[in-house]
């Protein structure tokens, strides 16, 4: 018996020669099981599973919700002009808190709309699946 390092260094021909020199008995029925496995693998590769309808619907719904949320976050034309510097760090911190609270509020509204859209989408997918089953 060779060491693992020696076996790893051997090429395919050397491995085949070493296997032929050994007196190893092949289990009964092994050849038939291998053929069956190869046939099953070939059949599985050739057949394609049925696609579920509207796999893109969840992604499209989430993308639409994200776009709607982004539109809500973009400041409107009636809002005051943005300022980029503050002399007082406490005022700057208060402004950051206010902006984060506004973003949080608008994200909450967007997430609520996304949850509603997902529920509505689930009903439509169920209907489509029932139609395709017939």
CA distance 49 to 77: 52
Q: In the numeric block, which tokens belong to residue 21?
A: 């020199």
Q: What is the pTM of this model?
A: 0.30
CA distance 69 to 60: 14
Q: Binning pLDDT at 50, 70 and 90, where does residue 71 land?
A: low
Q: Binning pLDDT at 50, 70 and 90, where does residue 100 land?
A: very high
- Say yes or no to pLDDT of 127 above 60: yes
Q: Where are the beta strands (DSSP E) in the chain?
A: none
- Say yes or no to pLDDT of 21 above 60: yes
Q: What is the dihedral of CA 105, 110, 113, 118, to 10 degrees?
A: -130
Q: Binning pLDDT at 50, 70 and 90, where does residue 101 land?
A: very high
- Say yes or no to pLDDT of 14 above 80: yes
Q: In the numeric block, which tokens belong to residue 47?
A: 């057949």
Q: In the numeric block, which tokens belong to residue 7?
A: 């076996």
Q: Binning pLDDT at 50, 70 and 90, where does residue 11 land?
A: confident
């Amino acid at each position: 018996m060779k060491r693992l390092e020696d076996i790893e260094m051997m090429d395919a021909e050397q491995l085949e020669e070493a296997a032929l020199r050994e007196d190893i008995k092949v289990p009964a029925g092994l050849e038939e099981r291998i053929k069956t496995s190869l046939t099953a693998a070939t059949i599985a590769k050739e057949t394609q599973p049925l696609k579920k309808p509207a796999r893109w619907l969840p992604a499209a719904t989430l993308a639409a919700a994200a776009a709607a949320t982004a539109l809500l976050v973009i400041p409107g034309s009636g809002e005051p002009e943005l300022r980029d510097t503050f002399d007082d760090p406490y005022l700057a911190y208060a402004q950051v808190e206010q902006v984060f609270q506004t973003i949080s509020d608008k994200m909450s509204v967007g997430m609520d709309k996304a949850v509603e859209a997902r529920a509505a989408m689930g009903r439509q997918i169920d209907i489509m699946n029932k139609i395709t089953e017939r």
